[in-house]
Amino acid sequence: MGGLTNGVIGIFGALAFFFDLAEEIACDAMDMEGDEQRSSKTIA
């Protein structure tokens, strides 16, 4: 049972990580116009 639980927790952790990463990328993409107006040099 311990191996199954650790696998499930790992899968949910990986999904949460990738969903959060996708959200951050999307927010950075939406903010690019504002960065251009302020002449901000960000990673996005």
Give residue-wise pLDDT tens across range 13-38.
999 999 999 998 888 888 877 777 77
Token pair for residue 18?
A: 């990738």
- Higher-confidence residue of 20 and 2: namely 20
Task: Label residue 8 by pLDDT band (50, 70, 90).
Answer: confident
Phi-psi region of 22 (alpha: psi -120 to 50; beta: other; left: phi over 0): alpha
Residue with tokens 């951050």: 24
The structure tokens 């999904």 sit at: 15
The pLDDT value recorded for residue 18 is: 97
Residue type, 39: S
pLDDT beyond 70 at 2? no
Q: What's the predicted TM-score (pTM) here?
A: 0.63
